[in-house]
Amino acid sequence: MKRKILLVLALVFCAMSLKADTLERLSAIKSGTPWDNKAVGKYDYLTNRAATAIIDISDSTNPVLTFETNGAPITWSHGVDIINFILYVNHGGSNFWIGRAIPPDTIIFITFYDLPNSSVFPSPWGIEVIDTVLFVADGNDGLFIFNVKDPYNPTQISFYDTPDNLTEFFILDSLIYL
């Protein structure tokens, strides 16, 4: 699968118009400092700096924290994506980890991958999986691309050195916006 990379040096504004008086708070749950989340079905997978959590969101007025990782190597969790119950988490250091989510109350650690070119103080956040390709933002270094057909053995496909700090990106059709 070939993807084109487009470097965007502009701000993207959301054209959606929301007014403060149209928003209604339904509920809340406390689980650390939230950094990213991905909702799939009735569960939300939340990275909260210190851990990764599974939250049952089947009742929007009463979310329930059903599981939270505790301790190394699953700490400093930034970005998260999930496909076929395989979690991909961009770790706050110079790496990412992969785990199997078994909702509602289990995450089984699969592997931890150190990024090869990572600088001393990266600040990675963005992570996204499309089919069997994993895209990982690595702060000062750039964008890493991996084959994760076998999540136990991710293999690096490519690396794109960005001119500045890359913490987030998004993919639309066949373009990657950095």
d(CA 140, CA 165): 4
For the chain, what are the domain ranges? 31-177
Instruction: Give pLDDT, residue 44.
Output: 94
- Contact call for residues 176 and 169 (beta carbons, < 8 A): yes
- Contact call for residues 148 and 133 (beta carbons, < 8 A): yes
Note down pLDDT in tens along the chain; length 178 residues. Answer: 454 433 332 233 344 555 666 777 777 777 777 888 999 999 999 988 778 889 999 998 999 999 988 766 566 788 899 999 999 998 866 788 899 999 989 999 899 888 776 555 556 678 999 999 999 988 777 899 999 999 999 999 999 988 878 888 989 998 999 8
The CATH H-level (homologous superfamily) assignment of domain 31-177 is YVTN repeat-like/Quinoprotein amine dehydrogenase (2.130.10.10)
Q: How many CA atoms lie within 13 A of 43 on its CB side?
A: 21
